């Protein structure tokens, strides 16, 4: 896999996938009805739609689009599958993510604070578009903050 492909996969896996990872790995159940975040967000199809929108937003973002150049359709589809599987597993769904941990995946990519902020902005735009409820939005953003040190500056 080329360095550019690793950058895109890592950025996607880092920004979108980290969206639920840290705190949600440990506690996917909620006090209200014991529903997983996966179910509260609408399941697999909802996560796939959020992933598609988020990746499209990052690919069009002037700050981040450099991470998406040079890929064929098959490579982009594979990246999308990793992101969806990560989100599915991280939110308590039935999928299994088989990629690298965030620290390993981002080492050597030199993702800057500006890249991070652009990704968070794009994620918030996706969350707005899909009308994430406040509670779920808070869980997602809290999890992101927990993974920042594994992604930025590596």
Q: Do 24 and 93 touch, CB atoms closer than 8 A? A: no
Angle between helix axes 73-90 and 3-15 (nearest 10 degrees) is 30
The pLDDT value given to residue 91 = 85
Domain that holds residue 20: 3-27+36-151
Interacting residues of 137 by C-beta distance below 8 A, sequence separation 6+ = 127
Structural domain count of the chain:
1
- CA 13 vs. chain centroid, Å, equals 5
pTM: 0.77
> What Å distances lie between residue 101 and 33, 50, 117, CA to CA?
30, 21, 21
Residue 111: pLDDT above 60? yes
Count of residues in the chain = 154
Identify any residues that bridge with 111 across adjacent strands, giving them in sequence order.
152
Judged against a pLDDT cut of 80, whether residue 144 lies above it is answered with no
What six digits make up the tokens of 6? 């690793």
Range of lowest pLDDT (13-22, 30-39, 133-142): 13-22
What is the distance between the alpha carbons of residues 54 and 58, in angstroms, rounded to a whole number?
6
Residues 6+ apart with CB under 8 A from 46: 130
**What's the CATH code of the domain at 114?**
1.10.490.10
Q: How far apart are CA 92 and CA 47, in angstroms?
A: 12
Q: How confident is the model at residue 80 (pLDDT cuts 50, 70, 90)?
A: very high
| pLDDT exceeds 80 at position 122 | yes
Res 78 pLDDT > 80: yes
Alpha-carbon span 10 to 8, nearest angstrom: 5
Confidence of residue 31 (pLDDT cuts 50, 70, 90): very low
What are 59's two structure tokens?
């690919």
Percentage of the chain surpassing pLDDT 90?
A: 39
């Amino acid at each position: 896999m080329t360095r550019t492909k690793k950058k895109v996969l890592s950025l996607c896996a880092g920004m979108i996938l980290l969206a639920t990872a840290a705190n949600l790995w440990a506690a996917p159940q909620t006090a209200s009805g014991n529903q997983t975040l996966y179910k509260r967000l609408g399941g697999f199809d909802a996560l796939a739609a959020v992933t598609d929108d988020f990746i499209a937003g990052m690919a069009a973002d002037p700050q981040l689009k450099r991470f998406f150049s040079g890929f064929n359709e098959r490579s982009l589809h594979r990246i999308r599958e990793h992101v969806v599987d990560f989100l599915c597993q991280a939110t308590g769904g039935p999928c299994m993510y088989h990629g690298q941990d965030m620290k390993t995946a981002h080492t050597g990519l030199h993702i800057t604070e500006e890249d991070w902020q652009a990704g968070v902005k794009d994620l918030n735009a996706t969350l707005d578009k899909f009308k994430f409820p406040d509670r779920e939005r808070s869980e997602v953003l809290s999890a992101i903050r927990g993974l920042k040190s594994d992604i930025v500056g590596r």
